[in-house]
Amino acid sequence: MPKGAVTHIDGLTSVAEDIGYPVVLKMIGAGLEHKTEAGAVAVSLKSAAELKDAAKTMIRSVQQFDPDCLSDQFLVETMATPPLAELVVAIRQDQQFGWVLAIGSGGVFVELIGEVKHLLLPTNAESIEAALRTLKIGKLLNGFRGAEPANFKSLSNQILTLCQQMQKSAPHITEIEINPLFVYSENIMAVDVLGQKRKLP
């Protein structure tokens, strides 16, 4: 995860100065799962003035999107280096099939490409790697136009570890979605994570 902290609007600049500019600003609240559509995210903010202006614009945008989504909680994070590719990785417990892993093109490409591969759990790193290589975004992972390729084995093993951890958390968590998951040549970064707790009877 990028370095950052959750704060109220009065603490935005303090957090940004602590972690260093440029930063990303996100409003945190119920109903803001898709922050881009609500105008609840701003990137590449390089100064306190830009950060304050972005917060004001964000409040107006979310108010217009849905007043019930408006929140006084903001997340300020370091601006991540552009990745080789963005993935969506989701793990959920299906009533019919049990635990299922979904892997696809992440970020804005989720709806644009709409390509997702599903694997029943438990699985293995080899099956995850095979699924990744069949994705259209796999061309970017392979090193598109001279870019350094991703380490498929490392990426697959890290996704497998996440699957195993989720299954161990079964009594408490029923679903997790990372979107986007930034993929670099030798590491990954979960930029946005959503989780679903198991409802108590």
In this structure, what CATH number is given to the domain that contains residue 104? Answer: 3.30.470.20
Is residue 18 located within the same domain as residue 107?
Answer: no
Residue 159 scores a pLDDT above 60:
yes
Q: Are 92 and 100 in contact (CB under 8 A)?
A: yes
125-134 vs 152-168: helix crossing angle, rounded to 10: 120
The domain boundary, picked from 31, 53, 78, lies at 78
Q: Could you tell me which residue, 194 or 109, shows the higher pLDDT?
A: 194
Is residue 123 located within the same domain as residue 193?
Answer: yes
Q: Are 140 and 149 in contact (CB under 8 A)?
A: no
Q: Are 29 and 73 in contact (CB under 8 A)?
A: yes
Is residue 92 located within the same domain as residue 177?
Answer: yes
The domain boundary, picked from 78, 104, 133, lies at 78
Strands of the 73-78 sheet, one edge to the other? 4-7, 73-78, 23-28, 41-45
Q: Could you tell me which residue, 67 or 32, shows the higher pLDDT?
A: 67
Is residue 150 located within the same domain as residue 97?
Answer: yes
Is residue 56 located within the same domain as residue 100?
Answer: no
- The pLDDT mean for the chain works out to 91
Is residue 140 located within the same domain as residue 122?
Answer: yes
Is residue 111 located within the same domain as residue 71?
Answer: no
Burial bucket for residue 10 (CB in 10 Å: 0-12, 13-18, 19+): exposed
Residue 178 β-bridge partners: 89, 193
Residue 200 scores a pLDDT above 60:
no
Is residue 91 located within the same domain as residue 67?
Answer: no
Is residue 118 located within the same domain as residue 63?
Answer: no
Is residue 26 located within the same domain as residue 125?
Answer: no
The domain boundary, picked from 78, 110, 137, lies at 78
Is residue 94 located within the same domain as residue 169?
Answer: yes
Give the tens place of pLDDT for each residue, 105-156.
988 667 666 789 999 999 999 999 999 999 988 888 998 877 889 999 999 9
Distance of alpha carbon 180 from the chain centroid: 3
* Domains identified in the chain, total number: 2
CATH number of domain containing 65: 3.30.1490.20
Average pLDDT on 23-36 reads 87
Is residue 138 located within the same domain as residue 179?
Answer: yes
Residue 103 scores a pLDDT above 90:
yes
CA distance 181 to 85: 8
Average pLDDT on 28-33 reads 84
In terms of residue numbers, what domain contains 46?
A: 4-78
pTM: 0.83
Sign of CA dihedral 136, 142, 143, 144: negative
